[in-house]
Amino acid sequence: MARRIVTGTELLRDIARGVTDFRGIELREGNLTNDSKYADVVNYTQNKFCDDVDYDGGLIFTGANLTGLRAPAMSFRGANFDGATLANVRVDTALFDYCNMNGVNINSMKLRNGSLSCSMLEDARVRNLDLFESQVFETGFGKSVILGVKGIDTSTKFQTSMLKDTIVDAETYKQIQRVFPKHSPLVARDVPVGTVLEDGTVVPEGSMILNTDYYLIAWHKKAGLSPKGRDSHQDGGRFGERFY
């Protein structure tokens, strides 16, 4: 089935009209800032997709191809990017909080001074992600492959994110190692040289498989549970403990 082609202007106008379902679209002319109504739509998303939107109720981009997207400062809180492609994307100061991004394919994305928090990126493929001074906390990167990420050591609270069977290249590992706290052990083992994943991804030499036993409030929320009495990101609870 052919994808539905949507231009940046059409996307903006639909969002402004209250449309939320853009699953499977292919974005064309993705620089949204070229539209005269861009600032108005940004304000709309910041007001609509705010504190009461968690994991649903946001924009739906499941399986969409958003190559070339330029959307700084926009709120994507609660959006669903499962299986989507985000390539050559510039979204500085944007919010990607409480998003479902499982199986997402990110290839060259700049999210500077923004936020990627309390989101789910399981089984994701991430290449060339710039997180300079962005807020990244309580985000799950389980079974993902993360290569060429910059700015982790300038981001806030990255150490509370969950890494489980997560493959990272050598430089990304060094950044994570610098910020992870001692009370949340980071376990790393070498990826064998010459490893090729099922999707054809060649794992660079020197890459590591990471695990942390940190338990996250975000995973309670995903399961519809509420931790009681304490915040796991404050006291170093272990992954799998039940605080409810």
Domain count, the chain: 1
User: Is 56 domain-assigned?
Assistant: yes
- pLDDT score, position 182: 64
User: Is 244 domain-assigned?
Assistant: no
pLDDT along the chain (244 residues), means of 10: 88 97 97 96 96 90 98 98 98 97 97 94 96 90 94 79 90 87 77 90 93 52 39 35 28
Measured at the CA of 10, the angle between CA 15 and CA 51, to 5 degrees, comes to 15
**Where residue 210 sits, what CATH number does that domain have?**
2.160.20.80
User: Is 243 domain-assigned?
Assistant: no
Contact 161, 182 (CB under 8 A): no
Report d(CA 163, CA 214) in Å as an integer: 8
Report d(CA 97, CA 76) in Å as an integer: 7
User: Is 165 domain-assigned?
Assistant: yes
- pLDDT score, position 183: 58
Rg (CA), the chain: 18
User: Is 49 domain-assigned?
Assistant: yes
- Show Cβ contacts of residue 84 under 8 Å, excluding neighbours closer than 6 positions: 61, 62, 63, 64, 65, 66, 101, 104, 105
- pLDDT score, position 137: 84
User: Is 242 domain-assigned?
Assistant: no
- pLDDT score, position 155: 80
User: Is 241 domain-assigned?
Assistant: no
**Domain around 65:** 4-235
User: Is 149 domain-assigned?
Assistant: yes
- pLDDT score, position 54: 86
Contact 125, 141 (CB under 8 A): no
